Chain A
Amino acid sequence: MSNISRDEVAHLAKLARLAVTEKELDVFAGQLDQILDAVAKVGEVAADDIPPTSHAVPLTNVFRADEIRPSLSQEQALSGAPAAEEGRFRVPRILGEEQ
């Protein structure tokens, strides 16, 4: 039995905001199924009593004084923008036609 169907891959692509083609879906569905088969091996040793590790270095919150420091200017922040208007990022409309 396969781990993941073509429809599930299409759903993942939608969640991940990737407008994949029909042809890509065919390829990715097979490959992801194969990869999931291989990585599922982690289940063999992941017993209930083992704590998870999210990070190699034990992390605590890092605090600093809330002081104004030099940062990017508005012009620098917008310098890589695909589109800008009146000192702001210009974005496409948020709502679709049907909305």
Chain B
Amino acid sequence: MTDLTRLTASELAAKIHKQEITSVEATKAHLDRIAEVDGAVNAFLHVDTEGALAAARKVDGDLAEGREPVSPIAGVPLALKDVLTTKGVPTTCGSKTLENWLPPYDATVTRRLREAGVVILGKTNMDEFAMGSSTENSAYGPTRNPWDRERIPGGSGGGSSASLAAFEAPLAIGTDTGGSIRQPAAVTGTVGVKPTYGGVSRYGLVAFSSSLDQAGPCARSVLDAALLHEVIAGHDPMDSTSIDAPVPPVVTAARAGLKGDLTGVKVGVVAEFSGEGYQPGVQRSFEAAVAQLKDLGAEVVEVSCPNFTYALPAYYLIAPSECSSNLARFDAMRYGLRVADDGTHSAEEVMSLTREAGFGAEVKRRIMLGTYALSSGYYDAYYGSAQKVRTLITRDFSAAFEKVDVLVSPTTPTTAFKIGERVDDPLAMYLADLCTIPANLAGNAAMSVPSGLSDEDGLPVGLQIMAPALADDRLYRVGAAYEVARGPLLDRIPELKGVSA
């Protein structure tokens, strides 16, 4: 029998909808795989066996009674990042603060997945409150990269990317504030998309930096990502920043791209994202990808976006500032951890002691950095200036998109680094987000698609494609065309079977 965990989501859906296999069989295959390998990967913080099987049975029951599938991916299993609330199912955000929290409501993304018949296998590991680029900042231990378990799977959504690369799930949800979908995708050889800001509802997405946070699809193929994108995207009255406009035709665009023709598409190579600090193997992989885009018929030009080099410093002011405000909600009063409530401490002391005990080092650093950047006397020099840089970056994108349809760059400057290598050096860690941050600051759409393995270390490299806001479909056309020309990658991953304790 075919190993169901090796199929793409669209292949699985076709088999389930034709009733060649049941969703319960597909779900059990993935639950078995998780049981077998997750001890070595640590992609999941919680596996919801009962909930997953109940959702699968519902899909099978509907199909058996002759009803049409409720969505093109009904019955397909998925791994959900632990930053999206799930009613009655633990949601920790990788933090001790929320260790035993059972949310009383579903995020809109969660609700849409359930309504589309998608089977939620469990919740994936992440850097605490999505702050990090390696998943080492999780309070529940790091996730390991299935390509090399001594290395990081990216972050903050390392659990989601690793679950795909380990064949524990064919689909996953991530969230991307500065690259937390795209950088994990790049270093695990998977596909990750940050939709246009406001394209996917943030209701029930535990807020880190509200003007940047955006949930999006993660998959092993561009078409699968598109199918998931259409399920989770769309206007939501529960999120006042949600865009009230039709979802871009991403599935149609992916299918068009699979024909392998990019004639008439103008691609801009970002001049600023190369040179010093870029691993030679990553650079060579990127150059080969650009050559392949030309072979597919695209017209390629170099484009300068001079302010992109200021994106990283601007981000590390804006995101901490918003985080210092957002994380004030963890006050030990209404939900989450409370320590030292012994009658001798005041509310303020309980609050301070609880936050000290509940938050990890990176979260504390960012809260203090944001508190500083927003304080009177420093506001103009730091937060105010960062907001001006945001304007400059948006202008760079606008000028570039007058000349080209999409921009491309490496997704991240290096392949997966070793666990522990950057954990005590915040500035070195932040460099992993160098190329991904501009799209967050401007709010436009961006994707990472695998561009093969680096020739010097054999580890995956990602090609980043960036499109204007609301033109998410362009990512899928270019991404799918490139993917089909490049050929499969994940079949070269070392086998994990039998690794579990």
Contacts and interface: CB of A to CB of B under 8 A. Distances in A.
A19 B347 contact: no
Contact of A80 (B237, B331, B335): B335
Interface in A50-71: 50-57, 59, 62, 64
B388 A64 contact: no
Contacts of B361: 24, 27
Contacts of A83: 338, 341
Interface in B319-349: 324, 328, 331-338, 341, 343, 345-349
B274 interface: no
User: Which of B313, B337, B368 gathers the greatest number of chain A CB atoms within 10 Å?
Assistant: B368
B442 A42 contact: no
B401 interface: no
B365 A45 contact: no
B252 interface: no
B467 to A, nearest CB: 14
Contacts of B324: 16
Contacts of A82: 332-333, 335-338, 341
B197 A56 contact: yes
Contact of B391 (A28, A34, A53): A53
A15 interface: yes
Interface residues of B, number: 71
B37 to A, nearest CB: 32
B338 A32 contact: no
A53 B387 contact: yes
B387 A52 contact: yes
A55 B390 CA distance: 9
B7 interface: no
Contacts of A24: 361, 364
B352 interface: yes
Nearest to A61: B240
A96 B344 CA distance: 9
A74 B318 CA distance: 36
A93 B197 CA distance: 42
Contacts of B426: 31, 34-35
A24 B355 CA distance: 14
Contact of A56 (B105, B332, B338, B441): B441
B384 interface: yes
B417 interface: no
A86 B243 CA distance: 41
A2 interface: no
Interface string A21-53: 100100110011011101111111111001111
A13 B363 CA distance: 12
Interface string A67-99: 000001000110111110000010111111100
Contacts of A92: 341, 343, 345-347, 349-350
B74 to A, nearest CB: 26
B493 interface: no
A17 B336 contact: no
A92 B391 CA distance: 45
Given A19-B352, A20-B364, A28-B368, A45 B346 contact: no
A39 B469 CA distance: 26
Nearest to B346: A96
B452 interface: no
A27 B443 CA distance: 34
B352 A52 contact: no
B104 interface: yes
B75 interface: no
Contacts of B101: 80
Contacts of B359: 18
Given A35-B427, A44-B310, A83-B341, A51 B391 contact: yes
A21 to B, nearest CB: 8
B304 to A, nearest CB: 15
A85 B382 CA distance: 44
B298 interface: no
Contacts of B346: 92-97
Given A28-B364, A81-B335, A52 B243 contact: no
User: Which of A24, A35, A44 gathers the greatest number of chain B CB atoms within 10 Å?
Assistant: A35
Interface string B298-318: 000000000100100110110
Contacts of B421: none
A10 B389 CA distance: 29
Contacts of B333: 81-82, 89, 91
B392 A50 contact: yes
B386 to A, nearest CB: 5
Interface string B192-208: 00000110000000000
A91 B347 contact: yes
B317 A39 contact: yes
30 contacts: A12-B371, A17-B331, A17-B348, A17-B351, A19-B356, A28-B368, A32-B372, A35-B316, A35-B369, A35-B427, A36-B382, A38-B313, A39-B313, A40-B381, A41-B313, A42-B386, A45-B388, A46-B386, A46-B388, A52-B384, A52-B391, A53-B388, A53-B391, A55-B241, A56-B441, A56-B444, A79-B104, A81-B335, A82-B332, A82-B336
Interface of A: 4, 8-9, 12-21, 24, 27-28, 31-32, 34-36, 38-47, 50-57, 59, 62, 64, 72, 76-77, 79-83, 89, 91-97
